[in-house]
Amino acid sequence: MEANAVVVEEQSPCRRRWAAVRETTVKIRRKVAEFPEKIKKVAQDDPRRVVHSFKFGLAITLVSLFYYFDPLYVGFGNSAMWAILTVVVVFEFSVGATLVKGLNRGLATFLAGALGFGVHHLATLPGDIVRPILLGIFVFILATTVSFIRFFPRMKARYDYGLLIFILTFCLISVSGYRDEEVLQMAHKRVSTILIGALAALLVCIFICPVWAGDDLHNLAANNLENLATFLQGFGDEYFTKSSEMESNKASLQGYKSILNSKQVEESWVNSARWEPRHGRFKFRHPWKQYLMVASLTRQCAYRVEALNGCLDSDVQASPETCGKFQETCTEISSESGKAMKELASAIKTMSAPSSHRAHIAKAKDATEKLNSLLKTRLCEDIDVVEILAVATVASLLHDVLACTEKISESVHELATLAHFKNEKDGKQELDKQKQVQKTSNSIDLNHHVITVE
Amino acid sequence: MEANAVVVEEQSPCRRRWAAVRETTVKIRRKVAEFPEKIKKVAQDDPRRVVHSFKFGLAITLVSLFYYFDPLYVGFGNSAMWAILTVVVVFEFSVGATLVKGLNRGLATFLAGALGFGVHHLATLPGDIVRPILLGIFVFILATTVSFIRFFPRMKARYDYGLLIFILTFCLISVSGYRDEEVLQMAHKRVSTILIGALAALLVCIFICPVWAGDDLHNLAANNLENLATFLQGFGDEYFTKSSEMESNKASLQGYKSILNSKQVEESWVNSARWEPRHGRFKFRHPWKQYLMVASLTRQCAYRVEALNGCLDSDVQASPETCGKFQETCTEISSESGKAMKELASAIKTMSAPSSHRAHIAKAKDATEKLNSLLKTRLCEDIDVVEILAVATVASLLHDVLACTEKISESVHELATLAHFKNEKDGKQELDKQKQVQKTSNSIDLNHHVITVE
C-alpha cells in the first residue's frame, strides 16, 4: 500500500488523479460484480425475506388503489396518503411485530386524536388572540412530557413507536385545527384511513405466508442449545488432538458466538410473540417469557464456552503426553454435556418433555469424579505446572458448563410444564400406536400378500 | 398467596369480585405512588434527558409556528404538516443520530421525489387507461426491491430509515400525482417543508446543550475499562476473604455486567459519531472505528471476568488454609491487571497516551511466575484436588485476563496514535510549564512582598 502511494507521489498531478479515478472505477466495478452474490446470500440465508418483499409490495399496491378508483378517492380525498404511510411504517417481518406496531399506531392515533380535538376545542374558547398562544403552550407541554416518558425503559421497549405517533397526531390535529375548521371531519378521515392501512398490512402479513415471531423465538432457543451442543461435542477432539486438521474443524464449532449478543433480538421477539394469536403448535398464552429465562441461562453457558474456546487458542497448551492422560475423561464430560444439550434442543424442537438428558448429565458427573481422582493421582507426577494449569482450567470450565447444563435443563423442564409439552409417555404411547398401526398395516400387507399368493 | 386464594374461594362471588377490584385498586395506587420515584430515577440517571425533552418541545413548537402566522402558512399551506412530521421522527438524543436521520430523510426524500416525478411523467405518456396500471406496477416493483435491500446487513445498519422514507416518498409522489396535476409544485413544497423541519431539529439539537454521540462513546470506552478494573481490584479480597461482608461488596463489583450486552449500543453510537462535526476534544476524522476494536477486546475480557465472577458463586470453594497460601499472588495479579486497566481508562478519559500501565502489567506477570512456582511446590502437599482445581481455575482465568489486558493496552495505544492523544512527555512538559509559571508567579509575589517590606 505504501509502495503504491510512493509511486503515485512521483507521477504528475494529472496522472495521479487519473490513477485515483481508475482505482475508484475498479472498486465500483468489483462491488457491482459482487452484488448478485450478495443478493443470493441474503435470500438464501432466509428465503422468507424474498416472500416478505413481495408481500410488502402487494400491501403498498393494494392501499394505493385508493387513488386510482374514483369512488374510493371521493370518500377520503388527500387523506388516502395516510393509508400508504401507515403500511410503509407498520409492515414488519413478523406478524407479532406488525401487530405491535399496528396496535401502537391505532391506539396512539385514536387517543391523540381525541386529546387533540379536546385541546383544539378548549383553545377556541377564550378568543382568537389567545388561541395560538394556548395551542403553542399545550403542544410544548405535551411534546416535552411524552418525549421524557420515552426514556422509561419499559415504555421504550414496548410503546416507543406509539408514543412517537401520539405526539405526531396530537400536534397535527390540534395545530392544523387552527387553519381547518372541520377538525372533526379531518380527524375522522385520518383515523379511518390509518385503520384501513393498518388492516391491509395486517391481513397481508397474516394470510400470505405468515412469519411468526413465536416460531422464530422457539427455533432460536433450540438452535442456540444445538450450537452449544455442537461445540461441546467437538471440543474434546479439537483440544486434545488438534495438530492434524485444526482449521477445518474449528470454524464449524463457532456457531455459538451468535448467542453472546442475541439478547436484544430475543427480547424484541418475545415482545412481538406475546401479541400473536394462537398459531400452529402454540396455544393462546404460551409462556413466551420463559424463553427469556432459557435464553439467559444459555447465554451464561455461552460465556463459559467462550472461555473454553479461548483455551483452544491459548499459547499455554499441555503437551501431548499430559493431554493423553486426561483426554478420555475431559472429552466424556464435554460430549455428554453436549448430548444432554442436544437432547434438550430436540425436546424444544419437537415440543415433547425431555427425558434422556438426565442420563447424559449423570454420565458427565461420573466422568467429573473420575477426572478429579485422576488429577489427584497424577498431580504429584513430574508434570509442568503450566500444563496442569491448562488442563485444570479446562476441567473446571467443563465443570461450570455442566452446572449450566443442569440449570438449563431445569428451565427447559419448566418451559415444558408451562407450555404443556407432550409427555414422553404420551409420546411413547403415540409411538407405540404408530408402531401398532404399522404392524397392523404390515400384517394386512402380509395377509394381502398371502391372499395374492393364494 | 395460596392461603389468600383459599379465603377468596370461600367468599361469595360478589365479595370475590369486590376483593379483586380492591386488589387492582391497591396495585394501581402503588404504581401511582411509585411514579414520582421513577421519574426522579430516570432524570437522575442522565439529567440530559430532561434537557432533551425540553429541546424536543421547543423544536415542535417552533415548526408549528408555520400554522399560526399567515405569511408562512400562505406559502406552504397544508404541506406545513411535513415539517412537524419531520421534527417528530428526526429529532434524536444525540447530534450524530439526528444528523444521520436528517440526512437519510433529506436525501431519500429528494431522490425518491425526483424518481417519483419521473415515473409520474413516464406513466402519463401512453394514455389514461394504462396509467394506473403502469403506476401500480412501478410502485410494486420499487416497494419490493427496496424492502428487500433493507435486509442487507450494512444497509440495515446505516440507511434503514432512509430506505423506508424512500419508499414512502416515491409512493406518495408518484401515486398522488394521479390525482393532483401539480405534482412538481407539491413535491417542491413537500421537500422544502421537510428540509425546514430537519433544519429546525438540527439547529435546536446542535445549539442548545448538544449531546454528542462521540462523547458518549468515548466515555463508555473509558467507563467499561474502569468497571473491569473495579472488579479486578476488588476480586482478590472478595474471593479470598469473603466470609465477613460478602453481600455489601459484591454488588459494587457487578458494574462490568453491562459490557456483556453493549455491542449494539456501541455500533449505533459509532455510526452516529462518524457524522458529527468536530467538537470539543474530537477533531475531524477522529478514529471512531478504533473504539469498536477497543470495545470488542473489552467485551472479550468481560467474558473472562464473568467466568471469574462465577468462581465467586461456585459451590466448589477452596478452604481458608488453601486460600491463604495463594491469596497474595492471586490478589496481586488481579489488582495489578486492574490498575493497568484503570490507567488505560484514565488515559482515554484525559486523552493522553497511557504510560505507567506497562509497569503494572509487568508486575502482574511477575506475580504469575510466582504463582506458578507456588503451585508447583504446593501441588504435592496434601490438598484436596477439588480445592486445587478451584484455585487453578482462578489462576488460569487471571492469566487470560492478563492476556486480554495486554491486547486492550495495545488497542488503546493504537487509538492514542490514531487520535493523536497528547504524549505523556507533552503532558509533562505542559505540567512543567504550569509549574514554572506558578514558580514565576510565586517569585513575583515574593518580589512584591520584598518590595512591600522595603
List the CATH number of the domain containing A425: 1.20.58.220
Q: Final residue of a domain: which of B181, B207, B233?
A: B207
Residue B447: predicted pLDDT = 35
Distance (Å) from the alpha carbon of B118 to chain A's nearest alpha carbon: 18
Average pLDDT over residues B255-262: 88
Judge whether B377 is closer than 8 Å to chain A, CB to CB.
no
Asked if the model's pLDDT at residue B107 lies above 50, the reply is yes
How far apart are the CA of A434 and the nearest CA of chain B, in angstroms? 42
Tell me which DSSP letter residue A66 carries.
H
Rounded Cα gap, residues A68 and B175, in angstroms: 8
Instruction: Specify the pTM.
Output: 0.80
Min Cα–Cα distance to chain A from B355, Å: 26
Say what the pLDDT of residue A382 is: 58
The residue of chain A with its CA nearest to that of B304 is A307
From B161, B189, B207, the end of a domain falls on B207
Is A327 strand, coil or helix? helix
**Cα A363 to Cα A285: distance, rounded to the nearest angstrom:** 36
The tally of domains found in chain A comes to: 3
Number of H helices and number of E strands within chain A? 18, 0
Choose the closest CB to A176 out of B67, B171, B397. B67
Interatomic CA distance for residues A90 and B236, integer angstroms: 52
CB contact under 8 A, B56 and A141: no
Residues A341 and A271 occupy one common structural domain:
yes
Residue count of chain A, please give it: 454
Output the nine-digit C-alpha cell for B142: 420499487
Q: Is A73 within a domain?
A: yes
Q: Is A237 on the interface with B (CB under 8 A)?
A: no
Higher pLDDT, A2 or B338: B338
Instruction: Write out the residue range of the structural domain in which residue A83 sits.
Output: 51-207
Give the tens place of pLDDT for each residue, A264-304.
889 989 989 988 888 888 888 889 889 999 999 999 899 88
Q: What is the pLDDT of residue B220?
A: 92
Q: For residue A246, what pLDDT band results from cuts at 50, 70 and 90?
A: low
Per-residue pLDDT, averaged over B346-375, amounts to 85
CA B74 – CA B66 distance, rounded (Å): 9
| Residues 273-312 in B contacting A (C-alpha not used; CB under 8 Å) | 303-304, 306-307, 310
* Domain shared by B269 and B404, yes or no: yes
Residue B280 and residue B367 in one domain: yes
- What pLDDT digit, counting tens, does each position of B266-316 carry? 998 998 998 888 888 888 888 988 999 999 999 989 988 888 888 887 766
User: Residue B187's pLDDT is what?
Assistant: 76
The reply to whether A308 falls in a domain is yes
> Considering only CB atoms, which chain A residues are within 8 Å of B264?
261, 264
Q: Is B35 on the interface with A (CB under 8 A)?
A: no
Contact between A67 and B179 using a beta-carbon 8 Å cutoff = yes
Same domain, A121 and A238: no
Flag whether B451 is in a domain: no
Q: Do B401 and B274 share a structural domain? A: yes
Asked if the Cβ–Cβ distance from A147 to B56 is below 8 Å, we say yes
B111 lies in the same domain as B13: no
Instruction: Judge if B98 and B132 occupy the same domain.
Output: yes
For the stretch B148-188, pLDDT in tens is 999 998 888 888 889 998 998 888 888 777 666 677 777 78
pLDDT band at B236 (very low <50, low <70, confident <90, very high): confident
Q: For a pLDDT cut of 70, what percent of chain B falls above it? A: 84
Structural contact between residues A361 and A338, judged by C-beta atoms closer than 8 angstroms: no
pLDDT given at position A442:
40
Instruction: List, for residues B14-24, the tens digit of each pLDDT value.
Output: 888 888 899 99
Q: Tell me which of A318 and B278 has the higher pLDDT.
A: B278
B393 near A393, Cβ under 8 Å? Answer: yes
Per-residue pLDDT at A8 exceeds 70: no
Mean pLDDT for all residues in chain B: 81
pLDDT (0 to 100) of residue A144: 93
* B123 vs B73: which has the higher pLDDT: B123
- Any domain includes A250: yes
Which range among A53-62, A64-73, A173-182, B294-303 shows the weakest confidence by mean pLDDT? A173-182
Q: What is the per-residue pLDDT for A11?
A: 60
Q: Are residues A203 and A220 in the same domain?
A: no
Which of A64, A73, A390 lies nearest to residue B139, judging by beta carbons? A64
Residue B58 forms part of a structural domain: yes
pLDDT of residue B450: 30
Asked if the C-beta of A62 comes within 8 angstroms of chain B's C-beta atoms, the answer is no
pLDDT at B7: 46
What's the whole-number mean pLDDT along residues B93-116?
90
Q: What is the pLDDT of residue A26?
A: 92
Q: Is residue B233 part of a domain?
A: yes
pLDDT digits (tens, 9 = 90+) for B196-225: 899 999 999 999 989 999 999 999 999 999
Substitution target in A148, A304, A333, A397 with the highest count of B β-carbons within 10 Å is A148
Q: Is the pLDDT score of A233 beyond 50? A: yes
pLDDT at A452: 28
* Mutate: best of A48, A63, A175, partner B, most B CBs <10 A: A175
Q: What is the pLDDT of residue A392?
A: 77
Query: Which letter does DSSP use for residue A245 in this model?
Result: T
Question: Which residue would you say has higher pLDDT here, B242 or B134?
Answer: B134
Contact B53, B214 (CB under 8 A): no
Average pLDDT, chain A: 81
**Are B174 and B252 in the same domain?**
no
* Per-residue pLDDT at B145 exceeds 50: yes
For B51, how many CA atoms within 13 A lie in the half-sphere containing its CB?
Answer: 15
CA neighbours within 13 Å on the CB side: how many for A123? 24
Share of chain A above pLDDT 90, in %: 21
Residue A342 placed within a domain: yes
A316 interaction partners in chain B (CB closer than 8 Å):
399
Mean pLDDT across the stretch B380-407? 78
Evaluate whether residue A42 is within a structural domain.
no
- pLDDT at A242 (0 to 100): 60
Q: Which three cell numbers stand for residue B408?
A: 486492550
SS3 labels along chain B: CHHHHHHHHHCCHHHHHHHHHHHHHHHHHHHHHHHHHHHHHHHHHCCHHHHHHHHHHHHHHHHCHHHHCHHHHHHHHHHHHHHHHHHHHHCCCCHHHHHHHHHHHHHHHHHHHHHHHHHHHHHHCCCCCHHHHHHHHHHHHHHHHHHHHCCCHHHHHHHHHHHHHHHHHHHHHHHHCCCCCCHHHHHHHHHHHHHHHHHHHHHHHHHCCCCCHHHHHHHHHHHHHHHHHHHHHHHHHHHHCCCCCHHHHHHHHHHHHHHHCCHHHHHHHHHHHCCCCCECCECCCCCHHHHHHHHHHHHHHHHHHHHHHHHHHCCCCCCHHHHHHHHHHHHHHHHHHHHHHHHHHHHHHHCECCCCHHHHHHHHHHHHHHHHHHHHHHHCCCCCHHHHHHHHHHHHHHHHHHHHHHHHHHHHHHHHHHCCCECHHHHHHHHHHHHHHHHHHHHHHHHHHHHHHC
Minimum mean pLDDT among A245-254, B115-124, B231-240: which range? A245-254
Q: Rounded to an integer, what distance in angstroms lies between the CA atom of residue B240 and that of residue B327? A: 6
d(CA A317, CA A294): 33
Considering the domain architecture, whether residues B365 and B439 belong to the same structural domain is answered as: yes
- Chain B: give the shortest CA distance to residue A272, in Å: 19
pLDDT of residue B379: 60
Chain A residues in contact with B375 (beta carbon < 8 A): 385, 388-389
**Contact at 8 Å (CB) between A189 and A227?**
no
Residue for grid cell 421524557: A148
- Using an 8 Å CB-CB cutoff, list chain B residues near A88: 164, 167-168, 171
Co-location of B226 and B332 in the same domain:
yes
Q: Is the CB of residue A176 less than 8 Å away from at least one CB of chain B?
A: yes
pLDDT at A386: 66
- In chain A, what percentage of residues exceed pLDDT 70? 84
**Domain shared by A226 and A201, yes or no:** no
Residue A379: helix, strand or coil by DSSP? helix
